[in-house]
Structure 1
Amino acid sequence: MPQASTPPRLIVLVPEEGGGISRLFQQLQRGGGQDDRSRLEIDFFLSHDKRRGALLRFPGRLGRFLARLIFRRPAACHINLASRGSTLRKAIFAWLCRRASVPYVLHLHGGGYRDFFCNLPAPLRNIVRAFFRRAARVIVLGQVWRDFVVEVIGVDPARVVILPNAVHGPDAVPNRDAPGRVPQILFLGRLGPGKGIPELVEALARDDMRSLSWRAVLAGDGQVAETQAAVAAAGLDDRVEVPGWVGPEAVEALLAASDILVLPSHVENLPLSMLEGMGYGLCPVVTPVGAVPDVIRDGQNGLLVPVDDAGALAGVLARVVSDGELRGRLAARARADFEASYDIRHYREKLEAVYLDVLGENDQRSAR
């Protein structure tokens, strides 16, 4: 181990801004959860960008990463992982780590990873299995993902760590007690079928919702024009706003102004927008996909709705729109659970504990 005066350095591979995982690590990069007790120095490295020509820039990025491995000699590397191209790129980064004798930690985020892995040709599945099994630790976001990497990919259970996502939240929940307040429903995420946007628009257009007073904001990238057209075709222009992608400050303003966080996804890992809604004291209405059931207990801190069921979604939304007492009770419990388990101010310490376990094992091997 390095001397106490020189904390061990970790390289963390982060993607370009845009998705939930990039938001999480950008918050850490800005100092979220870091204080004088931090025992590690974290060096963030942009592993991929979404601009045109990214593939042509990838060899240069690998070269810069290899230079850091050789000349800055990190104690370990943290590799954030999703499916498809992310797995291919990160497997190359992991190979470089092995060549440099630097242990790596995999952090699985992709909600569709099971389908991606199971649909790979057998030779590629074997490569991905080796990629996972050679990791010093595999961090997953919930029990369903632990079961997957242990039972399907074959990772040693002792090397798998469940560490749920975390986000920033306000110190206090915004006041929503104004007389005559019209409840606002908020969706944050990629607009499209995978997030349940078609059935959400259908649910909002149903008679049991039309008879109530509410407004909604569907914010995110993806199929923005298509969603705007669907809202217009449903005759919801006066109630539903589709602003497209919004930045961090606008997201915070929307969370503060809203009452219900809706996320009728078909596939998720553990969505940050749901945790953000909990942090701002919104009532979650979500589908039980990925690690969501680890967080949301139906009728206690939110409501669960079946996947791809516009009728059920309309019924649940109508229930929390019309029943302010129920909405407030679920939201208060969601906020309490956020404070206990999903506040980013406690996240870095938990993440560093994983790293320190890895470094301790590495030291023991080196001493043999």
Structure 2
Amino acid sequence: MRKYAFFVVARVFGIKTVVHLHGGEFDLFYRERSNSIQKMMIRDILSHADFFVALSNQWQLKLHKMCASANVVTIYNPIIVPKQISKQRAANLLIFLGNVSESKGTFDLIRAMPDVIKLNPSVQLKIGGTGEIETARQLAVDLKVDAHVEFLGWVVGEDKERLLNSATLLLLPSYNEGLPMSILEAMAHGLPVIASDVGGIPEALACCVADCIVKPGDVIDLANKINHLLADDALRGQIARKLQQTVAEKFDVEVVANELTQLYNRLLEVQ
């Protein structure tokens, strides 16, 4: 809504516009949280923007459902591949990086821990992020898994690098997503991922769907997949190599920068 005024001014003066959508709950906002006037404004932007950039093909389909005439293109989020990647990882170290909330699947992750601990008594879950930390902490206490769960607060810089280089798995069982950077960061660091099939995640993890994708809210399958990957070092290594290859082909910053350059060149050529 805030950007609509700028969009209208641009149209009045004949300025070309590119809208880049990142919000993981934008379709929910459109369907359930917007009144008729707001929906009209959204459709107006969709129908008149020169390009509307989505983070995945799934999001492209969602946007076309809102406005069939929208000129939507898919350009993935970029990631800078680290120059050095650790090959020595801690055993049974799970990490979560993101907002601590129900919508990000943090509570489902804690609910899965009892079944994970049964087969992996030394497992540790480190949760990096802000949000509903006290609620999550209390849930861990109620489920008697608090000795296995650590809340780190917001993690950045060298602390994040150490986590990505030392963890066994990154977990993100979200209910809504665009294309989360934590997954791309994990992939670039050779860290296997288990995440839900929302937003651009299935496209990012297309090479290992059977082992790495869960349905939002399916705590049993989440626990089973964690246990399966923790038990199989060779499979984790195979997945890590596939994910690194995917990053190089689709998400490397130079690949995405080239796609954006091509988009702007196309826009400048249209007179």
TM-score when normalising by structure 1: 0.69
Partner amino acid, structure 1, of 2:117? M
2:147 is paired with a residue whose SS is coil
1:89 is paired with a residue whose SS is coil
Partner amino acid, structure 2, of 1:220? G
Correspondent of 2:156 among 247, 253, 267: 247
The corresponding residue for 2:86 is 174
CA distance, structure 2, for counterparts of residue 248 and residue 96 of structure 1? 39
Post-superposition Cα deviations, 1:144-191, rounded to whole Å, max 9, x if no partner, equal 1111222322334xx3211011112212431126xxx42311111110
Q: Which moved more, 1:286-295 or 1:164-173?
A: 164-173
The corresponding residue for 1:354 is 263
Correspondent of 2:12 among 82, 95, 99: 99
CA distance, structure 2, for counterparts of residue 261 and residue 91 of structure 1? 37
1:191 is paired with a residue whose SS is coil
**Identity, % of aligned positions:** 26
Do structure 1's residue 222 and structure 2's residue 131 form an aligned pair? yes
Q: Which moved more, 1:224-233 or 1:324-333?
A: 224-233
Do structure 1's residue 111 and structure 2's residue 111 form an aligned pair? no
CA distance, structure 2, for counterparts of residue 164 and residue 302 of structure 1? 22
- 1:255 shift after superposition: 0.7
2:80 is paired with a residue whose SS is coil
The within-5 A match list for 1:280-291 is: 280-291=189-200
Partner amino acid, structure 2, of 1:210? K
Correspondent of 1:143 among 51, 57, 73: 57
Give ranges in structure 1 of 5+ residues lacking alignment: 1-87
CA distance, structure 2, for counterparts of residue 226 and residue 245 of structure 1? 16
- 1:245 shift after superposition: 1.2
Post-superposition Cα deviations, 1:264-320, rounded to whole Å, max 9, x if no partner, equal 001111111111110111111011011211221264695111210111111110111
Tell me which protein shows more helix as a share of its residues: 2
The within-5 A match list for 1:126-137 is: 126-137=40-51
The corresponding residue for 1:155 is 69
The corresponding residue for 2:110 is 201
Post-superposition Cα deviations, 1:70-123, rounded to whole Å, max 9, x if no partner, equal xxxxxxxxxxxxxxxxxx111122123223432110111111111211232333
CA distance, structure 2, for counterparts of residue 279 and residue 106 of structure 1? 27
Output the aligned Cα RMSD.
Answer: 1.9
Partner amino acid, structure 2, of 1:289? V
CA distance, structure 1, for counterparts of residue 10 and residue 162 of structure 2? 41
Q: Do the aligned partners of 1:142 and 1:294 also contact (CA within 8 Å) in 2?
A: yes
The within-5 A match list for 1:296-307 is: 296-297=205-206, 299=208, 303-307=212-216
CA distance, structure 2, for counterparts of residue 153 and residue 112 of structure 1? 17
1:193 is paired with a residue whose SS is coil
Do structure 1's residue 294 and structure 2's residue 206 form an aligned pair? no
The corresponding residue for 1:45 is none
CA distance, structure 1, for counterparts of residue 211 and residue 179 of structure 2? 15
Do structure 1's residue 121 and structure 2's residue 35 form an aligned pair? yes
CA distance, structure 2, for counterparts of residue 250 and residue 335 of structure 1? 21
Cα gap change, 1:350 to 1:302, in 2 (>3 Å) = farther
The within-5 A match list for 1:307-326 is: 307-326=216-235
CA distance, structure 2, for counterparts of residue 319 and residue 259 of structure 1? 12
- The alignment covers a number of residue pairs equal to 269
Q: Do the aligned partners of 2:211 and 2:225 also contact (CA within 8 Å) in 1?
A: no
The corresponding residue for 2:143 is 234
Correspondent of 1:276 among 185, 190, 211: 185
Q: Do the aligned partners of 1:209 and 1:314 also contact (CA within 8 Å) in 2?
A: no
- 1:326 shift after superposition: 1.2
CA distance, structure 2, for counterparts of residue 342 and residue 302 of structure 1? 21
CA distance, structure 1, for counterparts of residue 214 and residue 72 of structure 2? 30
Structure with higher Rg: it is 1
Partner amino acid, structure 2, of 1:115? L
CA distance, structure 1, for counterparts of residue 158 and residue 19 of structure 2? 30
CA distance, structure 1, for counterparts of residue 197 and residue 226 of structure 2? 16
CA distance, structure 2, for counterparts of residue 149 and residue 155 of structure 1? 10
Partner amino acid, structure 2, of 1:152? M
Give ranges in structure 2 of 5+ residues lacking alignment: none
Q: Do the aligned partners of 1:103 and 1:136 also contact (CA within 8 Å) in 2?
A: yes
Partner amino acid, structure 1, of 2:144? G
Q: Do the aligned partners of 1:183 and 1:215 also contact (CA within 8 Å) in 2?
A: yes
Higher relative contact order (CA 8 A, sep 6+): 2
